[in-house]
Structure 1
Amino acid sequence: LALPPDFVAYLLEDGLSLAADSQAMPARIRPDIAEQMESAFTLSDEEDDAGVADARHFPELEDAMREAIESLGGAVTPKLTWSSPKDAVWMATTNDTRCQNPAEVMLLLKASDAVAYDLQDAYAQCVDASESSSAALTTGVVLTLRKWAGLSPSMEFRCFVRRGNLRGVCQRDVANFYPFLPEQVGQIEEAIAVFWQENVHGVFPVVDYVMDVYVTSRKKVKIVDFNPYGGATLPLLFDWNEL
């Protein structure tokens, strides 16, 4: 979905506000208690205007999101041009990037530092960067909604390709140790190397890139994403100098 400039500007605004009827958060308290709390903390009109930002609505975009979500089975994971808002999952009630309505998509995008970086500094490290190219993006920004799949973090891997050679592979979830992985390292490395050689090498249009993959229990390799080599892409268990 191509994002309109006003929505991109909204993502870059300070603050985060949700409409009263937003589906991004569940109703955690009973209505009668909510009314009591509201009456106890009523603000004057001036205080209300000064302290609470108006919730924004984008009807056409929200309708397009809703239609896409329904067509993809009712649950999606969002990605904005280059980055997925994984750093904002702490805002989600499911603690992951699964979204079932437009409000949840907008909440993750708005709360994500990775998304903000994409919009403000994505080209800053390009060799031909200039003041104009490093300015915040307002046009040409694309939102991708992919069908949600409950992938096991233990079987997600990041592959580093430098000058057309597969230089390294490591797990994406660097915060956890999975005891079964060491005994499967050989099989996993072989499966990824064969898949890359047969399906990606010589086909992908650049020679320096990072590829994220998922390996199934049958050692079938599925591409999750491609990322730029270096820059904001994390080397995870490696150092860029090692690669």
Structure 2
Amino acid sequence: MVAVTTGGRLAAWARRVGVPVAVVEEAPAPRAGWPQLFYTMLGSLKAAGLIQVPSSHVEESIQLLGGREKAEAEARELVEWLLSSSGHLVILAPEPYYSVAVRMRSELAENAKLAADTGQVPEIGHNMIEAWAAGGDARVLALDPGEEPWSTLLHQVVGLARPASVHVVKLRGGNMVSRIVWGTWLAGLTSVLYALRKGIDPERIRTIKAFRSVVEATTGWDALD
């Protein structure tokens, strides 16, 4: 176990119980700090021998973060589709990249106040694809890694689901780390740009804070004992 944190109570608790602490800089908003958290976590897991990631893969993923203009352009395209399409939003991704779909769903929910479901390919072929095909009102955001057999399976599922509208996002990069980083970055950009277009404050999370207070009052989990 390693505690990756900006400090505070989590760092104090980890040191008290003998858990290693990796301190990162505080971000302007919690979700904006994902690069520091991700790369620190990646380095910690690699140092512990729990994962094997070539340094070249990590370096390529960091270089992708320099392509701000391209990322913002793709995020704007996605925002335009979200604004112009209608129907129940479903975010699909192949199994190795399902975490990106979950991240996209979470970013849209918190920043843009936009609800979505996620689906993992090929798992959704067991059940959900039947409902989507019957309803015909789903709008599908497909996250395509450009990697076989996953890309073919993804597009075949989309075709069989017969959605009302489809938007395909290419997960850029020559390896899994890079594609995950690109998709995560795009999720954040898209959610904030969507919120701004709709006149929504992406940093306002009143309902989340209200529920957090309920959890703390009910369980006492905020004490970190």
Which band: TM-score by shorter chain?
Answer: under 0.3
Structure with the largest fraction of helix: 2
**TM-score normalised over the length of structure 2:** 0.25
TM-score using structure 1 length = 0.24
Higher Cα Rg: structure 1 or 2? 1
